[in-house]
Amino acid sequence: MLTVHSVTNDQRILDLPHSDYRRGRSGFTNIIPTTTGAAAAVGLVLPQLKGKLDGIAMRVPTITGSVVYLSCQLDKKVTAEEINSAIKKHSSETLAYCEKEIVSSDIIGETHGSIFDSKLTKVMDNNDINVKNKKVLLRVDFNVPIKNNVITDDNRIVAALPTVNYLIDQDAKVILFSHLGRVESEEDKQSASLFPVAKALEKLLGKKVIFIDQTRGSKLESAIDDMNFGDVLLFENTRFEDVPGKKESKNDPELELEMLSQGIDNPTKPLVAILGGAKVSDKIAVIENLIPKSDQILIGGAMAYTFLKAQGINIGSSRVETDKLELATELLKKANGKIVLPIDHAVTAKFEDVKPNYTLDANIPDGSMGLDIGPKTMEKYANILKTAKTVV
């Protein structure tokens, strides 16, 4: 929030020495940035907003009046008209609703505590960002199954088409990047190139997709410089950065954590959390944060196999973090029954196989690797989710 308000009686008429340099400047000849106690004060009156507001103040040389510019993120899409309608509905002697184009002197003698200026309401979403004739770097999820250089499931590529087409229509230079598969050695690179993905995307878009077999370097830089507006470029698998040094994998999912925390600050109970992904180690902080706040935590994806192995269940050749087995045991103990694990699995002999088989129970036979939860687990999780009031 930004508060712009008139000079106060503790400000100087002329520039004079002061321990706070800005407060020592003339209040009648300057716009003076300063701190504000308004954000903290709101938290005292409305405890549910404590710690969620921050801002600064601007002191301006006017006789009276103040303006508060409040920016916030909502949980759903709304229009400016819907916001104005809601404020108008709840207007009172404390908060007036105004449709006039007022300025500061118009509020002299005003008895309302605050006035909501409906003419200044603005709603912004991602489509409001001006990308016309801009370079746009877009991370996409093109981690698709490939067998003999043929993509066997292109759903993730198709899912990106609306965004890519929007950027093309805006005449942006569309620069795409993604990871693909597991790359732990130079040999893995041979079967993990995004080149087949570029060709598939080209076919789906109906236009040429420039593919650069680098993740960095002069060739990539030159190709981007040479792009025309409306062109699409895809560069090589970011997991090639993992060899050597595990560079790409160290990117922390800060946005995921931020959105997760928003969902569990003041949830309607019961709260059920769903966690997936490959690694327990990536989710330690999330799980520890969820345990005291959640009623149940449903585990899926490859991370489930580390928990299952920690319980002594056979997981075949499934991916497991052996160095995190003790941690998994500790988390299960701390959760005291809140963590729910799969009771059957979709399994295959190789990741590239299109059609999985399904186990009869939680055990995975030797020679098979788990891919994800099975139909019995889906049904069990679905029934749990039906009881939830909040799902994160």
Residue 83: the pLDDT is: 92
CATH of 130-263, picked from 3.40.50.1260, 3.40.50.1220, 3.40.50.740, 3.30.450.20, is: 3.40.50.1260
Nearest to 173 by CA among 237, 224, 238, 127: 224
Residue 257: the pLDDT is: 54
CATH topology for 267-391? Rossmann fold (3.40.50)
Q: Which two tokens stand for residue 32?
A: 């003076």
- Distance of alpha carbon 237 from alpha carbon 183, whole angstroms: 9
Q: Between β-strands 369-373 and 345-348, what pairing exists: parallel, antiparallel or unpaired?
A: antiparallel
Least trusted range by pLDDT, from 64-78, 131-145, 199-213, 375-389: 64-78
Q: Enumerate the H helices of the chain as residue ranges.
A: 38-45, 80-89, 155-169, 186-189, 195-205, 218-226, 254-264, 284-290, 303-310, 325-335, 375-386
Helix (H, G, I), strand (E, B) or coil at 309: helix
Whether the domain at 130-263 and the domain at 267-391 fall into the same CATH topology: yes
Q: Is it the case that residue 198 has pLDDT exceeding 90? A: yes
pTM of the model: 0.40
Q: Is it the case that residue 266 has pLDDT exceeding 80? A: no
Residue 385: the pLDDT is: 95
CB atoms within 10 A of CB 129: 11
Q: What is the mean pLDDT of residues 221-243?
A: 91
Residue 260: the pLDDT is: 54
Nearest to 129 by CA among 81, 71, 172, 72: 172
Largest CA distance in the chain: 83
Q: Is it the case that residue 236 has pLDDT exceeding 70? A: yes
Least trusted range by pLDDT, from 200-204, 232-236, 283-287, 369-373: 283-287
Q: What is the mean pLDDT of residues 101-128?
A: 86
Q: What is the mean pLDDT of residues 16-31?
A: 86
Least trusted range by pLDDT, from 155-164, 170-179, 183-192, 357-366: 183-192
When the pLDDT of each residue in the chain is averaged and rounded to a whole number, the result is 86
Least trusted range by pLDDT, from 114-118, 228-232, 250-254, 304-308: 250-254
Residue 352: the pLDDT is: 59
Which is it for the CA torsion 17, 56, 127, 119, positive or negative?
negative
Q: Is it the case that residue 285 has pLDDT exceeding 80? A: no
CB atoms within 10 A of CB 64: 13
- Distance of alpha carbon 281 from alpha carbon 249, whole angstroms: 12
Q: What is the mean pLDDT of residues 8-32?
A: 86
Q: Work out the percent of the chain whose per-residue pLDDT is above 90.
A: 44
Taking only the tens place, the pLDDT of each residue in 311-349 is: 999 999 888 888 889 999 999 999 999 999 999 998 888
Tokens 């598969």 -> residue: 181
Domain ranges, ordered by start, for the chain: 2-117, 130-263, 267-391
Q: What is the mean pLDDT of residues 13-21?
A: 84
Grade residue 39 by pLDDT with cuts at 50, 70 and 90: confident
Query: 325 vs 39, which has greater pLDDT?
Result: 325
Nearest to 102 by CA among 88, 118, 113, 87: 118
Taking only the tens place, the pLDDT of each residue in 41-72 is: 887 888 887 777 788 889 999 988 899 988 88
Grade residue 252 by pLDDT with cuts at 50, 70 and 90: very low
- Distance of alpha carbon 141 from alpha carbon 159, whole angstroms: 9
Least trusted range by pLDDT, from 27-31, 209-213, 250-254, 285-289: 250-254
- Residue 166 main-chain phi, psi, to 5 deg: -60, -45
Grade residue 92 by pLDDT with cuts at 50, 70 and 90: very high
CATH number of 2-117: 3.30.360.10
